[in-house]
């Protein structure tokens, strides 16, 4: 049983050498393993900043509050320590790393997170299985990390990493954006396989309710003005679907 | 993708005269090129004193260089004297050192891939400086029409070496060239690759420069028929105190020709100096040129210097595409963040990204043992600062 707590988190985006802007203005959120929390909100509300700030992206600086994973202070950890502690971020725009093959990258990541190098043959088998589950052509293993991948291919590979790394907390930042219905189904099945273990808490950041038809949330939070503006059950998503974010945009402004 | 007439104002820096500032004219006469003083555009990045006199033309040849060629049976290899009529027909030297090399070499290697022959194995031309001193060379590679071959030039040992290499790619032929400058640390090498690409012919070169004290290599490409395609890839790893200079010139003098230039390098150590000059001319009256050039430099330590200068001169409005890009900098934070966010420790992430930078180009070389050798040498150089 894992408890992931965000308490009073404040963060700035670093724009230039001297310029910065506060985006997160006191975020409170607790996610237990086995739970799925949908974070919904209008564009520019700070949803993605929350994801990146928690993961330790160099463009953001935490100015207040805390993030705890089973009581351990995540913010004191380096980016890679956070990942090894069990935190995972599926990015909205995964990064291309030229010349580093996907298979080499995945094996390095799995070795780091599991604390020992997996047996080569066992790992190949595991990788092939996970790739086929996400309808990823085996040839991708030999290509550079995300290099020349389409948007949908990148998203599938983020979920591939989710399945291989088996984190305690998975933050999925707009994983549904840019996917057609077929790709959305494939990606959602991957997320549901990871959830089925009951050992992962999921923070599902999305602008649209569409993905919630495939990945069922236990809680829905409306994110506006850099904080959680309202929380509820799955029914809150239906309200947002029919009424939009207008009410919250005004609150946040 | 059509690009409007960019005019010459944007790129020529020199007013409205429809004359290229990029020198495509040349001469076999050494005296047509004054001794450079270092302020000339074409010499200003080169530390002349480290040329050990190559630019003044002392006309001594006290170095010893051996040339060893291995080739499959279907390729004709000859060693010929200066008077061989086939030499020097595809180019005119474009600078003083090139002219000096042409007037000073004693024997030349001529590699001929007969028409419609596909070479079953690469041709290796190994040029090794066995005794340090001035030496000159000349190589002519002729891929006759509809032939196909891969030629590897390997430079090693110690020398103060100037040479010209002619690549004549006749109509419909394919020629891949890998030029590996793997000199000992004390060597000086000034080289020109003069390439003529025929109608519907394809030329591809990989220039890999790792060694030497000073290497200055100028690949020049012109076309003899429409449909010609030239791809120039370059990779350099410039270490402490080394000067690596690459100066490409693509002269789109014929319609419907294509070129790509992609040079990338890493610099590490005090006094490491890399220069990339990428000249592209799209000639008057031509149509349908498609050209792009790109230089990227990865700066691994303090104390290095990069000069990266793309020049694009366009004398026609009928261009299919033309562009250039240049970027130099440290390791990308965002790359490192992505790898670290998957649990990979910072130092391992750095190593992966740096190796990836080299591997991206090395992996395109289709000779496995050469790939491995280059990667091993890159590893050795990386080990010096990691």
DSSP letters, A121-179, are HHHHHHHHHHHHHTT--GGGGGSEETTT--HHHHHHHHHHHHHHH--SEEEEESTTTT-
Contact A80 B333 (CB under 8 A): no
Give the pLDDT of residue A21: 96
Q: Please report the pLDDT score of residue B279 as a whole number.
A: 95
Chain B residues lying within 8 Å of A58, measured CB to CB: 333-334, 337
CA pair distance B266, B188, nearest whole angstrom:
20
Q: Is the CB of residue B85 less than 8 Å away from at least one CB of chain A? A: no
Q: Which residues of B touch A115 (CB under 8 A)?
A: none
At the top level of CATH, the class of A3-94+167-252 is: alpha beta
Residue B47 has pLDDT above 90, yes or no: yes
In a domain, B232, yes or no: yes
Q: Do B357 and A99 touch (CB under 8 A)?
A: yes
Residue B220 included in any domain: yes
Say if residue B338 is in the same domain as residue B323: no
Mean pLDDT of B47-67: 87
Higher pLDDT, A213 or B10: A213
Q: Which of A84, A112, A167 has the most B C-beta neighbours within 10 Å, making it the best mutation to test the interface with B?
A: A112
pLDDT at B7 over 80: no
Same domain, B311 and B372: no
Instruction: Name the one residue in this structure whose structure tokens are 């707009």.
Output: A174
Each domain of chain A, given as residue ranges in start order, spans 3-94+167-252
Q: Please check whether residues B282 and B133 belong to one and the same domain.
A: yes
Question: Please, what sign has the CA dihedral across residues A105, A77, A84, A44?
Answer: negative
**Pick from A174, A180, A197: nearest CA to A42:** A174
DSSP state of A236: H
Q: Are residues B254 and B345 in the same domain?
A: no
pLDDT-derived band at B22 (thresholds 50, 70, 90) equals low
Domain carrying residue B45: 9-330
How many angstroms separate the CA of residue B333 from the nearest CA in chain A? 7
The answer to whether residue A71 scores a pLDDT higher than 50 is yes
Angstroms from A164 CA to nearest CA on chain B: 10
Query: Of residues B229 and B19, which shows the higher confidence score?
Result: B229
Work out the pLDDT band at B181, boundaries 50, 70, 90: very high
Position B279 in a domain = yes
Q: Is B1 within a domain?
A: no
The mean per-residue pLDDT over the stretch A121-129 comes to: 95
Q: Residue B268 above 60 pLDDT?
A: yes
Q: Output the pLDDT for position B20.
A: 53
Beta carbons of A100 and B355 less than 8 Å apart: yes
The ipTM assigned to this model is 0.95
- For residue B21, the model assigns a pLDDT of 53
Q: What is the pLDDT of residues B137-152, one digit of tens each?
A: 999 999 999 999 999 9
B13 pLDDT tier (thresholds 50, 70, 90): very low
B-chain residue closest to A91, CA distance: B338
Dihedral of CA atoms A47, A52, A163, A215 in degrees, nearest 10, equals 0
Strand pairing partners for A38?
A: A204, A220
How is residue A72 written in tokens?
Answer: 């351990």
Query: What integer pLDDT is reported at residue A66 of this predicted model?
Result: 97
Per-residue model confidence (pLDDT) at position B18: 43
Chain B residues touching A55 at Cβ < 8 A: 341
Domain boundary among B304, B330, B356: B330
Contact at CB, B337 and A56, closer than 8 angstroms: yes
Given a cut of 60, is residue B222 above it in pLDDT? yes
Q: Do A55 and B346 touch (CB under 8 A)?
A: no
Q: Is residue B4 part of a domain?
A: no
Do B57 and B195 fall within a single domain?
yes
pLDDT per residue as tens digits for the range A78-113: 999 999 999 999 999 999 999 999 999 999 999 999
Q: How far is B259 from chain A (nearest CA, A)?
A: 21
Is pLDDT larger for residue A4 or for residue B17?
A4
Q: Percent of chain A beyond pLDDT 90? A: 90
Same domain, B316 and B338: no
Helix (H) or strand (E) holding A88: strand A87-90
Query: Model confidence over B73-97: pLDDT tens digits?
Result: 999 999 999 999 999 999 999 999 9
CA nearest to B335 within chain A: A97
User: Is B327 in the A-facing interface, judged by CB distances under 8 Å?
Assistant: no
Report pLDDT for B62.
86
Is residue B365 within 8 Å of A106, Cβ to Cβ?
Answer: no
Question: Among A27-31, A247-251, B31-35, B225-229, whose mean pLDDT is lowest?
Answer: A247-251
B340 vs A: CB within 8 A: yes
Average the pLDDT over B345-372 and give the result: 93
Same domain, B253 and B121: yes
Which SS3 state, helix, strand or coil, does residue B215 take? strand
CB A51 within 8 A of CB B309: no
- Does A97 sit within 8 Å of B343, measured CB to CB? no
End of a domain among B310, B330, B350?
B330
What pLDDT, in 10s, does the model give residues A155-165?
999 999 999 99
Position A43 scores a pLDDT of 85
Distance of residue B265 Cα from the nearest chain A Cα, in angstroms: 14
pLDDT for residue B9 is more than 60: no
Tell if the CB–CB gap between B333 and A165 is shorter than 8 Å.
Answer: no
Percent of chain B with pLDDT over 90: 83
Partner residue facing A99 (CB), from B343, B348, B360? B360
Statement: residue B19 has pLDDT above 60:
no
Chain A contact for B298 (CB, 8 A cutoff): no
Mean of all residue pLDDT scores within chain B: 91
Question: What pLDDT digit, counting tens, does each position of B316-355 carry?
Answer: 888 999 999 988 899 999 999 999 999 999 999 999 999 9
Q: Which residues pair with B290 in a beta bridge?
A: B258, B321
Q: Is A178 exposed, middle or buried (0-12, 13-18, 19+ CB in 10 A)?
A: middle
Biggest CA-to-CA distance, chain A: 56
Q: Average pLDDT, stretch A195-222? A: 96
The answer to whether B343 contacts chain A (CB < 8 Å) is yes
Predicted confidence (pLDDT) per residue in A136-153, tens digit: 999 999 999 999 999 999
Assess whether B247 and B382 both reside in one domain. no
* In a shared domain, residues B246 and B361: no
Beta bridge partners of residue B330, listed in sequence order = none
In chain A, the residue whose alpha carbon lies closest to the alpha carbon of B345 is A80
pLDDT value at residue B14: 38
Residue B234's pLDDT band (cuts 50, 70, 90): very high
Q: Nearest to residue B309, comparing CAs of B280, B276, B273, B281? A: B276
Instruction: Tell me, yes or no, whether B309 and B386 share the same domain.
Output: no
Number of domains in chain B: 2
pLDDT band at B45 (very low <50, low <70, confident <90, very high): very high
Predicted local confidence at residue B3, as pLDDT: 36
Contact B198, B170 (CB under 8 A): yes
Assess whether B177 and B254 both reside in one domain: yes
Residues B92 and B123 in one domain: yes
What DSSP string describes B238-261? Answer: E-TT-EEEEEEEEEE-SSS-EEEE
Residue A245 has pLDDT above 50, yes or no: yes
């Amino acid at each position: 049983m894992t408890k992931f707590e965000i308490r009073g988190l404040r963060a700035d985006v670093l724009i230039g050498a001297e310029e910065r802007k506060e985006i997160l203005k006191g975020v409170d959120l607790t996610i237990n393993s086995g739970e799925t929390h949908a974070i919904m909100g209008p564009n520019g509300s700070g949803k993605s900043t929350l994801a990146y700030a928690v993961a330790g992206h160099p463009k953001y600086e935490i100015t207040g509050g805390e993030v705890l994973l089973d009581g351990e202070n995540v913010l004191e950890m380096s980016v890679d320590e956070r990942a090894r502690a069990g935190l995972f971020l599926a990015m909205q725009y995964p990064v291309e790393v030229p010349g580093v093959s996907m298979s080499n990258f995945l094996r390095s990541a799995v070795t780091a997170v599991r604390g020992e190098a997996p047996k080569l043959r066992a790992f190949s088998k595991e990788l092939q299985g996970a790739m086929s589950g996400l309808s990823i052509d085996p040839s991708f293993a030999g290509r550079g990390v995300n290099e020349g991948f389409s948007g949908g291919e990148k998203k599938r590979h983020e979920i591939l990493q989710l399945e291989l790394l088996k984190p305690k907390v998975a933050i999925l930042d707009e994983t549904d954006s840019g996917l057609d219905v077929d790709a959305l189904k494939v990606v959602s099945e991957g997320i549901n396989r990871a959830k089925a273990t009951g050992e992962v808490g999921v923070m599902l950041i999305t602008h649209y309710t569409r993905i919630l038809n495939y990945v069922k949330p236990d809680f829905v939070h409306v994110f506006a003005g850099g904080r959680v503006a309202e929380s509820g059950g799955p029914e809150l998503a239906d309200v947002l679907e029919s009424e939009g974010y207008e009410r919250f945009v005004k609150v946040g402004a | 993708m059509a690009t409007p007439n960019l005019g010459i104002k944007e790129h020529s820096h020199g007013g409205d005269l429809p004359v290229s500032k990029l020198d495509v004219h040349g001469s076999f006469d050494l005296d047509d090129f004054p001794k450079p003083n270092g302020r000339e555009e074409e010499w200003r990045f080169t530390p002349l004193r480290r040329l050990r006199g190559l630019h003044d033309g002392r006309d001594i040849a006290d170095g010893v260089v051996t040339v060893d060629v291995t080739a499959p049976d279907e390729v004709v290899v000859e060693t010929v004297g200066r008077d061989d009529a086939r030499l020097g027909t595809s180019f005119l030297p474009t600078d003083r050192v090139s002219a000096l090399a042409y007037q000073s070499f004693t024997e030349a290697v001529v590699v001929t891939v007969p028409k419609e022959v596909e070479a079953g194995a690469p041709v290796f031309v190994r040029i090794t400086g066995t005794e340090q001193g001035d030496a000159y060379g000349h190589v002519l590679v002729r891929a006759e029409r509809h032939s196909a071959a891969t030629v590897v030039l390997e430079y090693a040992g110690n020398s103060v070496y100037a040479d010209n290499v002619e690549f004549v790619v006749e109509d419909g032929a394919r020629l891949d060239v890998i030029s590996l400058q793997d000199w000992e640390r004390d060597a000086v090498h000034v080289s020109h690759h003069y390439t003529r690409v025929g109608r519907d012919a394809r030329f591809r070169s990989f220039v890999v420069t790792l060694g030497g004290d000073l290497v200055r290599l100028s690949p020049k490409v012109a076309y003899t028929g429409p449909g010609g395609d030239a791809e120039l890839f370059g990779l350099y790893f410039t270490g402490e105190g080394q000067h690596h200079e690459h100066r490409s010139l693509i002269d789109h003098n014929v319609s419907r020709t294509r070129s790509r230039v992609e040079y990338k390098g890493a610099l590490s150590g005090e006094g490491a100096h890399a220069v990339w000059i990428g000249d592209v001319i799209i000639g008057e009256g031509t149509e349908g040129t498609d050209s792009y050039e790109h230089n990227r430099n990865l700066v691994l330590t303090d104390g290095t210097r990069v000069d990266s200068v793309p020049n694009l001169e366009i004398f026609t409005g009928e261009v299919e595409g033309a562009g250039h890009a240049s970027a130099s900098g440290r390791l990308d934070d965002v790359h490192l963040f992505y790898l670290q966010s998957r649990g990979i420790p910072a130092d391992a992430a750095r190593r992966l990204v740096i190796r990836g930078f080299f591997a991206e180009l090395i992996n395109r070389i289709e000779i496995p043992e050469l790939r491995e050798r280059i990667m091993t040498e890159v590893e050795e150089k990386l080990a010096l600062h990691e």
